[in-house]
């Protein structure tokens, strides 16, 4: 089945919206009406602005899936995200029922789409978080390093989409979202050579450090995991920068799409706990996770079926 746009480029601009639901019975009607209208809304915007690269992904938290679609089976790895607590750092868990990831080359296009979504859902939902992201320089994180370097290329769909192992949900995906705030003052005091050891790559050329140069707790070392047969396991990231300079807030919105959430979970455990324990990601000394939620992203066909139901 055709996936939603989970392998798209992060885009020039992005809006992430997380809604909470309080009454699933009351909300079921507006959500299904939105599911029926959303494809036409996106098509209309694409026709009006064919060069905008508009993309919309919609997902559901575990409680929302069970409450909105009680007649549906449950995806194998869908559950409420549980916090990951290491000796020094914690991947916090925060609430979320409905999730939207909007991308485009022009911010006004996704502002319009976000306004339609919010209007259609109305007072049946409450806003938990809305974050506006932007492309920083040449696709770098706001800390100055190229982001998404480890993304698979030709095999992106293979890693991002659920396969035949969960046949009711083939073509779907799991989206893990986290907001990280960076201590830019402390980060900028680090010499470039030290920053490179934290990330595991050269800052200006993006070349990976050699095994001799790279510390065991470098970011790209702890997030490099392998399966039982030694094959590297990957996720598809669509991370993007966000900022509020007047508040002194500079951050990265992490979103990882994967066909198995266990892969993302293992990466986070390596980052926050360490493997072995204590070897946690050094980047977390300068970046703090302030949110964390897991969502199921149905295939495009399943979204249509849910609207029809």
- 124-147 pLDDT, tens digit each: 999 999 999 999 998 899 999 998
Instruction: Report the sign of the C-alpha dihedral through residues 261, 301, 38, 42, in that order.
Output: positive
Q: Is the pLDDT of residue 307 over 90?
A: no
Residues 289, 305: Cα–Cα separation, whole Å:
35
Among this protein's residues, is 275 annotated catalytic? no
- 63-90 pLDDT, tens digit each: 999 999 999 999 999 999 999 999 999 9
Distances (CA, A) of 300 to 29, 95, 161, 164: 19, 24, 12, 16
Say if residues 234 and 152 touch (Cβ distance below 8 Å). yes
Q: Tokens 């909300």 map to which residue?
A: 27
Residues 181, 118: Cα–Cα separation, whole Å:
26
Give the model's confidence band at 9: pLDDT under 50 very low, under 70 low, under 90 confident, else very high. Answer: confident
- Which H/E stretch holds residue 263? helix 261-272
> What is the bridge-based pairing of β-strands 90-91 and 173-182?
unpaired
Phi, psi of 169 (to 5 degrees): -130, 20
- Count Cα atoms within 13 angstroms, Cβ side, for 152: 20
Say if residues 49 and 99 touch (Cβ distance below 8 Å). no
> What local confidence, expressed as pLDDT, does residue 226 receive?
85
| Cβ neighbourhood burial of 95 (10 Å; 0-12, 13-18, 19+) | middle
- 188-245 pLDDT, tens digit each: 999 999 999 999 999 999 999 998 999 999 999 999 988 777 788 899 999 999 999 9
Say if residues 3 and 160 touch (Cβ distance below 8 Å). yes
Residue 195: closest CA among 212, 219, 178, 216: 219
Residue 112: closest CA among 50, 170, 41: 41
Q: Is the pLDDT of residue 309 over 70?
A: no
- 157-192 pLDDT, tens digit each: 999 999 999 999 999 999 999 999 999 999 999 999
Of the candidates 5, 147, 211, 275, the residue annotated as catalytic is 147
Say if residues 97 and 61 touch (Cβ distance below 8 Å). yes
> What local confidence, expressed as pLDDT, does residue 152 receive?
83
Residue 289: closest CA among 35, 83, 64: 83
Residues 6+ apart with CB under 8 A from 190: 198, 286
Residues 230, 232: Cα–Cα separation, whole Å:
6
Q: Within the chain, what is the greatest distance between any pair of CA atoms?
A: 59
> What local confidence, expressed as pLDDT, does residue 209 receive?
94
CB atoms within 10 A of CB 256: 24
* Most confident range, picked from 20-24, 58-62, 299-303: 58-62
């Amino acid at each position: 089945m055709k996936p939603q746009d989970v392998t798209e480029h992060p885009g020039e601009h992005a809006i992430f919206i997380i809604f909470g639901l309080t009454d699933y019975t009351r909300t079921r009607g507006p959500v299904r009406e939105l599911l029926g209208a959303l494809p036409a809304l996106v098509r209309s915007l694409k026709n009006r602005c064919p060069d905008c690269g508009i993309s919309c992904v919609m997902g559901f938290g575990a409680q929302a899936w069970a409450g909105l679609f009680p007649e549906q089976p449950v995806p194998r790895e869908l559950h409420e995200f549980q916090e990951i607590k290491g000796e020094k750092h914690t991947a916090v868990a925060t609430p979320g029922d409905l999730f939207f990831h909007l991308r485009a080359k022009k911010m006004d296009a996704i502002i319009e789409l976000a306004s339609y979504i919010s209007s259609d859902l109305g007072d049946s939902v409450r806003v938990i978080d809305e974050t506006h992201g932007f492309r920083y320089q040449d696709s770098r994180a706001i800390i100055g390093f190229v982001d998404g370097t480890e993304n698979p290329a030709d095999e992106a769909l293979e890693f991002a989409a659920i396969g035949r192992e969960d046949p009711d949900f083939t073509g779907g995906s799991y989206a893990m979202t986290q907001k990280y705030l960076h201590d830019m003052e402390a980060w900028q005091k680090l010499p470039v050579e030290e920053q490179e050891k934290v990330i595991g790559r050269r800052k200006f050329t993006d070349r990976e450090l050699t095994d001799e140069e790279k510390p065991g707790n470098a970011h790209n070392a702890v997030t490099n995991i392998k399966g039982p047969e030694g094959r590297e396991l990957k996720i598809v990231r669509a991370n993007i920068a966000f900022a509020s300079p007047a508040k002194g807030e500079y951050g990265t919105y992490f979103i990882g799409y994967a066909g198995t959430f266990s892969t993302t979970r293992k990466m986070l455990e390596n980052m926050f706990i360490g493997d072995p324990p204590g070897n946690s990601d050094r980047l977390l000394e300068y970046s703090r996770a302030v949110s964390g939620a897991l969502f199921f992203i149905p295939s495009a066909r399943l979204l249509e079926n849910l609207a029809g139901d």
